[in-house]
Structure 1
Amino acid sequence: MNVKNTLLTLTAASMFGLVTEVSHQVVAHADSVAAVTAGQAGVPRIDVVDVSSYQGYLTAQDYVTMKNAGVRGIIVKLTEGSTYVNKYAQAQIANAKAAGLQVSAYHYADYTNPSTAQAEANHFADVAQQYGFKSSDLLIDDLEDGVTVSGNVSQNAKAFNDQLQSRGFANTTLYTYISYKNSNSLDTSFVGGDSKVWIAQYPYTPSSDSLWNTGFGMWQWSSNVSFNGISGRFDVSIDYTGMASRQLTAAEALQNAIQIKQESGYLYDGSDQNGGYRWYESGQLYTGFRYYMGTYYWFVNGVRQNAGWRQAWGMTYYTDNNGRAVQGTQVIDGRAYNFGTDGTYYERDLSGYIYDGSSQNGGYRWYANNQLFTGFQYYMGTYYWFVNGVRQNAGWRQAWGYTYYTDQNGRAVQGYQFIDGRGYNFGTNGTYYLR
């Protein structure tokens, strides 16, 4: 959320696995943070977007676009330290409100002791009052900068919060990230405990099936999200408690329902699956394949389905754990299948020496018409003998009414060969059989 300082990136192993925890700085769009597009299937819900001077001027229509993607709240950076003011803040606030979004504000903290914390709180309060924030509006202390770890972090943060409340702002909280909170033993009781705290922690692969930090009020899960039609990347959060995102009024919900009845596509309707999105065709929940975000997804009553076999257009398809139709050679339940590489995605005949991850021959087996093959196949300049797709090495073979022998490398032999102390003639004309 801030572009002032060098990117602070901390990587830590948590109970959830290896994650990257990054500051609110916009330069946190590091390669380690997965790029996400709003409306993308399988990611956590996007309730709240935070903006700073990095995003610059955003129109009311930009915020409407966000709202149509499910966003319900905007958090604007107002101030930093004791003098800085975001020059775009006034327009960002006005246009977000014009779009019907709840608007909150945050201050990027530089304080190192109670006295400087109080000074920064006064600066934040002055600008918040100037821009029309009321006592009930959410004001947030963004506590993440490395300079703030001097002294007693909890005491300094409490001094900031107490001063903000003394200025008449009753709805206050903290933003921080997991490693900062843990390494500084940050006490959050003065804002009502962790259930009131906005926490940041970025999974390498964010998933709606694996929501983190549910004990906190709000979780910022990415700093690398784009919205179709809006330039730039955004920090986004799922708001577990509604602390920064308002619920739709009955009139707004009705208007959304009317709009959905007229539209087609992957639309936000607040459902309890796939982050609130379902696929509509002319207002009707759709069952079948639809092309979206570079591939085909399978929907049942509008809900995206994950791994499974699909029948459509007289063909057979398979969608993976992310719901995407697969291509190429795929191993499913221990067996290989061919779905082509020409953008058609359907299953077709599988023949040849195919990598299917088996435990023999480096993971390769021979398939013929989708079945594991037993017998001779010509490959790499000679014949090899396969049993249930597995290449066999030294041994006698019977095929086509003749006798053959394969060597230690599985290759059918030619010419005069001594096997177990006896000579044999396999010819030299490319026929390989014993004579």
Structure 2
Amino acid sequence: MTKKRVQSTNRHTKLAVSLMTFLSAGCLMTIPANAETVQPNAVPSGRDVEIDSQGKVTDFAKEYTEVKAPFLNLMRSSDTCDVFGIGDGRYTHGDAIDVASYQSGLTLNDYKQLKAKGIKTVIVKVSQGRGYLNPAASNQIRNAIQAGLKVAVYHYATFNNSGSGWNEGNHMADCLRKLGLGPNTLIFADMEDRATLNNQVKNGLNSFWRTLNNAGYRNHAVYVYAGYKYRDAVVSTVGKSRTWLAQYPFTPSRGGYYERQWRNQGYGAWQFASTSRMPWKWWFGNLDLSTDFNGLLTNAPSTSVSNGWFGNRYYVNGNAVTGQRQINGKWYLFDKNTGAMKNGLQWVADQKKTCYYASNGQMQYGQQCINGKWYLFDKNTGAMKTGLQWVADQNKTCYYASNGQMQYGSQKIGNYYCYFDPSTGSMHHGWLTLNGKKYYYDKNGHKVFGEQTIDGSKCLFDKNTGELKSQSKPNVIVKPVASSGWKTVNGKTFYYSKGKAVTGQQHIGGKWYLFDKNTGAMKTGFQWISDQRKTCYY
């Protein structure tokens, strides 16, 4: 497997002459005269430069030192494994390859040709330790599926106790969700790093499995090399039939001794080579090759969810939906490439609108406070609104800039100046005093300039600033009356109670009215009720 090699001299297979007993993977066996010669470093191999959880770049191949016993030369003419093309009938049949980040150069056509050569499954490295996510995994999974291949995944483990196993399980679950992989995905724990060589590694692996179970991922298997010190312990967490064993003969001949040996011992699959190549692209370099004994690899279930939610994706007939989608009466937005659910402010290109999606992914409507700023979204379409807007449930007119944020204070809108309450954002109407200076905003909320008649009073406002310069007394003459009720004087309407014109807000005949606080004249249009801090329409 294209990961870190774990080597020490006490794991090397000791070979002598034919029919001589040897030590391999902790078991005594006898090699017949026609047995394959085993590579002394019968452990996972290859080159892969990846980033560990601390951000350190490690070239794993540089940490490997091959140790050979001199007498091995008596057994063979070559000290390296055969390099051969995938599909070559002289060698053990290849059912699966595994890939990591440095094999990101494999194209969709490569996967299709691998399938034509008999490959059925691709096992993709997803994660490592507590912080690494294979950046090529998404594309590798997608290409393999499009080529008609099955997909399994693996996590390169560095844990050695329950706590670290729990941490790495959470990290892998997060990576699986980010990649949109469903709960049936076949997951291998890759047990080879020397950091795992601890008598508590079984507890760590069981903790890793429990964490994945809690996240909904329950299809577990183990990858381990034959000479791994705690092989039996890690295998016991899933059983031999769910173990993918690694051991590399120099010439893994079809139907050969080790192929029969590992099959008869009940292992699920065997990674028998790290030096296979694609015949059509020999220059690409070596690939790991594995054979399946019992369907562990070739019967890997779908990595997708058939229907419904899984993680932050929603599936229909096994495919993650993209774009806008209504689910149970609520609108969601999914990334057009990955299918991941989106939240926050989002541009919906096909409808040319900006919408807001809460942390649960659901589209929001009406007024919304986002990062301390107020926005308004259409109650039907969810589209973000801009410009002057009537907020019906609060009986106010507000102004939203081109970025959708509510504006306050003095604002120039087109050719007019308007004022919006510093607290509520409500448009102001009528008289306003700022810094000791008086201004007037008409029924449309526009600041007035020059000569104006307001409630019968002649007013002069600065032609540039709108500041009140002079004001005459109202010329409305209201004669006292003894009766109560409505009266019209000089074109203005008044309401009398006990012979006196009422002012301010009044409830008359079940309806609310507003009368000028100075003259008592009835007001109409948008009006600012200062004592209640609201704008009303009469």
What range describes the TM-score normalised by the shorter chain of this pair? 0.5 to 0.7
Residue of structure 2 equivalent to 1:45:
93
Aligned pair in 2 of structure 1 residues 169, 102: CA closer, same or farther (>3 Å)?
same
Number of residue pairs the alignment of both structures matches: 246
Partner of 2:420: none
How far residue 81 of structure 1 moved from its aligned partner, in angstroms, is: 0.5
Q: Give, in angstroms, the shift of residue 91 of structure 1.
A: 0.7
Q: Is the 8 A contact 2:6 2:192 kept in 1?
A: no
Code of the residue aligned with 2:271 in structure 1: it is Q
Q: CA deviation at 1:36?
A: 1.7
Q: How much does 1:19 deviate?
A: 2.4
Match of 1:226 in 2: 277
Partner in structure 2 of residue 240 of structure 1: 293
Secondary structure class of the residue paired with 2:295 = coil
Q: Residues 81-131 of structure 1: CA distance to partner in whole angstroms, max 9, x if unpaired?
A: 000111111111110110000011100011121101111111111111211
Match of 2:262 among 202, 213, 231: 213
- Aligned partner of 1:75 in structure 2 is 123
For 1:184 and 1:65, the matched residues in 2 are separated by 35
Q: Partner amino acid for 1:143?
A: M
Q: 1:32 deviation in Å?
A: 2.6
Q: SS of the residue aligned with 1:221?
A: strand
Residues 121 and 298 in structure 2, CA contact (< 8 A), matched pair in contact too? yes
Q: How does 1:156-235 map to 2 (within 5 A)?
A: 156-180=204-228, 183=230, 185-191=232-238, 193-210=239-256, 211=259, 212-214=261-263, 215-230=266-281, 231-235=284-288
Q: Which segment is superposed worse, 203-212 or 40-49?
A: 203-212
The whole-number CA distance in structure 2 between the counterparts of 1:38 and 1:106 is 22
> What is the alpha-carbon distance in structure 1 between the residues aligned to residue 106 and residue 231 of structure 2?
36
The counterpart of 2:151, out of the listed 82, 92, 103, is 103
* Matched-pair contact (CA < 8 Å) for 1:3–1:54: no
Greater relative contact order (CA < 8 Å, ≥ 6 in sequence) = 1
- TM-score w.r.t. structure 1 length? 0.53
Give the alignment's TM-score, normalised by structure 2.
0.43
Per-residue deviation, 1:4? 5.3
Per the alignment, in what secondary structure is the counterpart of residue 227 of structure 2? Answer: helix
SS of match in other structure, 1:45: coil
Assess if the C-alpha contact under 8 Å between 2:241 and 2:296 holds in 1.
no
Change (3 A) 1:47 1:85: same
Does the 8 Å CA contact 1:7/1:23 hold for their aligned counterparts? Answer: no
* Cα deviation, residue 23, structure 1: 2.1
Query: CA–CA distance in 1 between the matches of 2:103 and 2:202?
Result: 31
Residue 150 of structure 1: how far off its partner (Å): 2.3
Residue deviations 1:216-256 (CA, integer Å, cap 9, x gap): 00100001100112322100110112122249xxxxxxxxx
The one-character-per-residue Cα deviations of 1:327-383 (angstroms, maximum 9, x if unpaired) are xxxxxxxxxxxxxxxxxxxxxxxxxxxxxxxxxxxxxxxxxxxxxxxxxxxxxxxxx
Q: Is the 8 A contact 1:51 1:75 kept in 2?
A: yes
Q: What letter corresponds to residue 286 of structure 2 in structure 1?
A: R
Determine the C-alpha separation between the residues in 1 that align with 2:177 and 2:45. Answer: 24
Amino acid in the other structure paired with 1:226? R
Q: 2:166 aligns with which of 105, 115, 118?
A: 118
The offset of 1:187, in angstroms, is 4.6
The alignment-based identity, stated in percent, is 33
Whether the aligned pair in 1 keeps the contact of 2:98 and 2:124 (CA below 8 Å) is yes
Task: State the AA in 1 paired with 2:38.
Answer: V
